[in-house]
Each structure stands twice: as C-alpha cells, then as structure tokens.
Amino acid sequence: MTAEPKVAKTPAMIEARGVEKWYPNGFHALRGVDLTVQRGEVVVIMGPSGSGKSTFIRTFNALEEFQKGSITVDGIALNDDLRKIDAIRREVGMVFQQFNLFPHLSVLDNLTLAPVLVRKRSKGEVLNQAMALLERVGIAEQAHKFPGQLSGGQQQRVAIARSLCMEPRILLFDEPTSSLDPEMVREVLEVMQGLAADGMTMVVVTHEVGFARQVADRVVLMADGQVVEEATPERFFDQPQHERSRQFLSQIL
Amino acid sequence: MGPKPRLTPASLRKELFATPLDGLVTVLLVTGLAVAGSRLLHWALAQADWAVIQANSTLFAVGRYPIEHQWRLWLLVALLAAAAGLSWGVLRSRPLPDRPITALWPGNDRLATGILVLLASWAPAALGLTLPIQSRWWALTGLLLLVRWLAGRFGNRLGKTATLSLPLVWPLLYLVGMVLIGGGLGLVTVGANEWGGLLLTLVEASFAILLSAPLGVLLALGRRSSLPLLRWGSIVYIEFIRGAPLITLLFLGQNILGFLLPGGMAPDRIWRAAWILTFFSAAYLAEAVRSGLAAVPRGQLEAARSLGLSLPQALAQVVLPQALQIALPATVGQFISLLQDTTLLSLIGLLDLLGTARSVMANPLFLGKSSEVYLTLAVLFWCCCAALGLGSRALERRLNPPSLGR
Ligand SMILES: Nc1ncnc2c1ncn2[C@@H]1O[C@H](COP(=O)(O)OP(=O)(O)OP(=O)(O)O)[C@@H](O)[C@H]1O
Ligand SMILES: [Mg+2]
C-alpha cells in the first residue's frame, strides 16, 4: 500500500481527529471526537444509548460518512477516494450485534466468500484456513450447517471467524454480546479474549464490565456525541473523574 | 408452519361437521359439486362433439406453420422434453438443504409419472390423432421419463458448478428453439406470420419471461439506487406501465414502435407484441423484486461491504440471492398471468391460441362448438400454468436455507 509518506509514519492503527457527523435529517451525532488506537491495543467504548458509539466506530470502515475532521486507518486517510475505502475495508473487520451472517450460505461458504472474491485467493487454500479458524472458535463440527441452524452464540463465533478469514489488522465489535442469551455471552467473550491475547487490535463497543476490566487497555466513555472520559479500566471503573461517567456507571454496575 | 395435519376419517369429521351449520354447508357444497361434476363429465363424454378439435388440432398447435418444416418443431419439443426431464431429475437428485435424499422416485413423482403415462395412452387416441403423431407422443413421454430417470440416478455426480449452471439450459434452448422455429443458420426461413396457435403463444410468453426477468431486476435496483436520475427514471417507468391496461399498451405499441424506430428497423407485429409484453411484465417484476430487496435486512449489505466486497459483488452474492428467493412466488405468479395475458394478442389480430380458436369458431362448419373449444383452451392453459407452478415450488423448497425452526 502506498500512502503519503508523512501519514505512513504515524504508528497508530486508528487516528481520529475532531470527527463530526450530521445525519441527513440534520441530527448532530458526532461532535468533534478524538481517538487514537495503537497497534495491538484493545479499546472499549461505553456510553448511554444514543451517544453515538455505533456511529463512531462505523466511520472507521466508512459504513458511515463524516463531514468534518480526519480519520486515518493503518496509515490510509479516509476520504472520498473509493479505492482507499475498499483498501481499508479489506484491513478492517467488523462484528455486528445482529451477527449478519449470510443465511443462504453454509457456515464454510460464509467464511470463504470474501477471501476468494476480494483477496483472489484459491478456494482450496481458503478452505483450510477457514476450517482452522472454525476450530479456533470451537465450532468446526458445524462447518456444513447453515446459520439458521446455529444458536446465537455459535452464530456470533462464526461471524468472528468470518472476519478473521480476511486476515484483518483491526477488528471492530459493535455490542457483540447484546443480543445473546446470558449463557452464550461467555463463549463469545472467551473467543474475543483469545484474540486480544494474540495481539489483535480491537475496538469494542460493549457494556460487559468484566471483559473491559480484564481485557481492555483503555476505556472510553461517550455521551452526546463526544468523548467524556478516557482512562485505564482500573481508573475508569474505580475512580471515574467526570460526573457523566459516575452517572453512567451507577446505571450499569 | 407446523407439520401437515394428517387426514383421517375422524379429523375429516371434525373439520367438516363441527357444528350443524358446518355440516349443512358441507352437505350442500358436496352435493352441488357432485351434480355439477357429473353433468360436466356427461357432457364431455356423451354430448360434446370433439370433431372441431380433431379437425383443427394442427391449427391449434402450430397455426399455419408449413408442413414440410414441422419436423423442426418436433425436434424442438424433443429437446424441451429432454431438458425438462434433466431439470426434474437433477432437482430430485439434490438433497434438500436439511434433509438427505429420500428416494429416487418419491410419491409426488410417481403421481406425476402416472399422469404423464395416462395422458400419453389416452389423449392421442381420444383426440383422434393420426398414428404417426400418436407414436411421437409416446416417444416424447418415454424420452422425458428416461432422461428424468438418468438425471435422477446420476445427477448427484455433477459438480456444483455444473448444477448451478443447469438453469442456463433454458435460455440456451430458447436460442436453439428460435433458430429451429424461424430458420437461419442454414435452415429455411419460416416467417413469424406463419406461426400460430400454441406455438405462437409459447414463443411470445417465453420471450417475455426470459427478457423481463433481468429487466425487472435492473429496474428494481434502479428504483432503490442513490442516483436520482436512475431512481426517478425507474419510478416513472414502473408507475407508467402499471397504470395502463395491457391492451392499450399493445395497441399503442403496434403504432408507436412503428414510428419511434427508423424505417425498416421496426420489428414486425409479432415481435412488437413480444416487446410490449416484455416491457409490461418487467414493471410488475420490478415491484416483486423490490419487495424482495426490501425484505433483506440492511445488515446483510453492511456485512458484505465491511468484508471488502464491492457494491456489485455484494449485490450479486449476498443481497440478490436472498431477495430473489423471497420474490420467487410473486415472480412466478407474474409469469403465470403473463402467459394468460398473451390471449390479448388475439385482440390485435394475432393468431395465438385464442386468436386461432376464434378463427376456427367463425368457420360455419364448426358453428356452435365454442364450449368444446374454450374447454380445450382452458385445459391447455391450465397445464402450462400448473407446470410453472410445480417447478417453482420445487425450486423454492430447495432454495430455502434450513433453520432451527424447521
Ligand atoms: N440514520 C440515522 N438518521 C438519523 N439519526 C440517526 C441515524 N442513526 C442513528 N441516529 C441517531 O444518532 C444517535 C447516535 O446513534 P448510535 O446508533 O450511534 O448510538 P449508540 O451509542 O450506538 O446507541 P446504542 O447503545 O443504542 O446502540 C442516536 O440519537 C440516533 O437516534
Ligand atoms: Mg449502537
């Protein structure tokens, strides 16, 4: 990848500066958000509903546009250049609250679709990797089933494996456990913990305090389209500095 | 959908005679149906005079298609029978996504086979067809069933690509068929004005079905596009066509296509009508596909895009397969009404099935035989539509991805 040299020197994986976004209906969803994510870092974003968490992380892979500020991902500046957006999407994986598996494809085909189409890799080679990934998230025996035949927790693990099959440098998670039954939350969090231990760069929107405490390098609290507080998990949960943070924590703890 | 309730005498009694009123309705309906049915049967077997059909069977089938070239049509029918057997057998040989293959020749298929055999052994004789034509009917039935058996037996040895490209047999066969029917590539030309009857009806309907399908998909995508010009163009087109009765479009088309296109370029009446049918059907298909597109969750496109698929890739691999599957029943419904709408061609003077029938009934020799003719027409149309419906349901069941709920 060739980017302008002065940008390429930035060591950060994600560098967001003064990002502002208005939805087409005029709603001001992001009001100057800054965030830096280093390589290998795990950043957890928390905040009340409607505070702009999803909107924010969806700007990282251009699922949402923004109007002001700048975002660079792995040295590539996000602007209107469509080729750059494609390049960034190849390097950024995303896991959704609703899994969004492709219901008409088998589990294995869900994994191999993008690497074959986008990375132009051979099907056989991708198949091996896909099986290894399913092994890693613990559902190799479901490889030939269809998404509709799996439990929510299994589906979300397939979704993670599907993202990994593109060999991304960053993984974005938007409330990956929020639509799961409580007994399935752990199996998904364990997979995510394993990824963090392997050094994957991750930005995770979640309200799982246990996960944030154990895995996150930093916790960011968003409210009303702004970053209110940014701190290590210990500081954030034990000595929150801002009134908004205390208020939020009192609601979820 | 729960499991099918089994029909037993007890369940029947519960369904049909739950209350005295229910019982009364059941008795009245059953008596009414029985009386009407036996009258119809009595009329068809004893009173009706089927000579009008026998004398004009060739006219109904192919119109004034020159007799020395009719072997080309027989060849085409043989190819169609083989293709139908192939599709049928391969569909059977593939397991449903969540069920292993049960039997090579399950109950439904035995029933269909029985009907085909019965038809072949009774209809040609009853219709008073000549022996050569009778034996061709038998041979065609045999060919269909033979290919069905072979494809059912060995279809699962086909690779995935071969199976997926199998539907392409049909458009390909359409091209071959058009050459066989119309001539060219060394065959003597038979002008479209010499086609008629069922042949013309099927040519018009299949042309419109094959071309309106892709056109409808493009229009549906256009209607949801973010490019204003494309979106508004599609909306205006769809709403204009859907707002006008087909018959007015057909009359309009006969005149307008004539002076829109430069001299000599304008297709003759039969192809003009085929294009109008295509444009008409495409607008309705676009609405069916649009409802399918709307039913696919937004997250599907987002997931595909976030994996790096381009918009065309995401549409082709992720969104459209799901949308078209949802739209399939409505689409086939549209194809069935298209087939029936071809009867309107008789009003613009074409000798399609209905046009041929009207010309036959106008013949003083066959005065007063309209019941026989109309009943034959109804049965013919019913057979074509039933075949479309059966095929689409078999396809639907195989496309439905399995889920926990089933
Ligand atoms: N397409 C849209 N058009 C207009 N406003 C929108 C749109 N999508 C989101 N919003 C608004 O933007 C704000 C931020 O939404 P966002 O989904 O980012 O919040 P969130 O922090 O992820 O909330 P949650 O915890 O409920 O997921 C909300 O007030 C929402 O109503
Ligand atoms: Mg959200």
Mean pLDDT of A195-213: 93
Q: Which ligand is nearest to the CA of A96?
A: 2
Assess whether pLDDT exceeds 50 at residue B231: yes
CA nearest A107: which of A148, A144, A134?
A144
Look over chain B and give the mean of its residue pLDDT values, rounded to a whole number. Answer: 83
- State the Cα–Cα distance between residues A75 and A4, nearest whole angstrom: 8
Asked if A104 reaches chain B (Cβ–Cβ under 8 Å), the answer is yes
CA nearest B134: which of B143, B124, B142?
B124
Q: Give the closest residue (by CA) to ligand 1 atom 7.
A: A23
- State the Cα–Cα distance between residues A6 and A72, nearest whole angstrom: 12
Yes or no: say if B403 and A146 are a contact pair by the CB < 8 Å rule.
Answer: yes
Q: Which residues pair with B214 in a beta bridge?
A: none
B307 vs A contacts (CB less than 8 Å): 89, 93, 113-114, 118, 162-163, 166
Assess whether pLDDT exceeds 90 at residue B178: no
Domains within chain B, CATH numbers bracketed: 66-189 (no CATH), 192-399 (1.10.3720.10)
Q: Does A146 sit within 8 Å of B306, measured CB to CB?
A: no
Say what the pLDDT of residue B124 is: 79
Q: Quick one: tokens of B245?
A: 């009765």
Asked if B15 reaches chain A (Cβ–Cβ under 8 Å), the answer is no
User: Positive or negative CA dihedral for B392, B398, B403, B406?
Assistant: positive
Say what the pLDDT of residue B97 is: 55
Q: Which residue has the higher pLDDT, B252 or A170?
A: A170
- State the Cα–Cα distance between residues A131 and A165, nearest whole angstrom: 10
Residue B1's pLDDT band, with cuts at 50, 70 and 90, is: very low
Q: Which residues pair with A229 in a beta bridge?
A: A221
- State the Cα–Cα distance between residues B185 and B183, nearest whole angstrom: 7
* φ, ψ dihedrals at A197, nearest 5°: -65, -30
Assess whether pLDDT exceeds 50 at residue B350: yes
Mutate which of A55, A65, A172 for ligand 1 pocket (most atoms within 8 A of beta carbon): A55
Sort B176 into a burial class: Cβ within 10 Å, 0-12 / 13-18 / 19+: middle
Residue A2's pLDDT band, with cuts at 50, 70 and 90, is: very low
Asked if B19 reaches chain A (Cβ–Cβ under 8 Å), the answer is no
- Count how many Cα atoms sit within 13 Å of the Cα of residue A253 in the half-sphere of its side chain: 13
Say what the pLDDT of residue B403 is: 64
Pick the range with the lowest mean pLDDT from A84-88, A241-245, B127-131, B132-136: B127-131
Nearest to B322 among A94, A103, A151 (CB): A103
Mean pLDDT of B325-347: 89
Could you state, in order of their start, the residue ranges of all structural domains in chain A? 14-252
Domain A14-252 has CATH 3.30.2290.10: no
How does DSSP classify residue A24? T
What does pTM read for this prediction?
Answer: 0.82
C-alpha dist (Å) from residue A134 to A142, A157, A163: 8, 8, 12
Question: pLDDT (tens digit, 9 = 90+) per residue, B64-109?
Answer: 888 888 888 889 899 999 998 888 888 777 666 555 556 667 777 7
The most confident of A80-89, B98-107, B273-282, by mean pLDDT: B273-282
In whole angstroms, what separates CA A71 from the centre of its chain?
15
Q: Which residues pair with A68 in a beta bridge?
A: A20
- The ipTM (two decimal places) reads 0.90
Say what the pLDDT of residue B406 is: 40
First-to-last alpha carbon distance for chain A, in angstroms, is 44
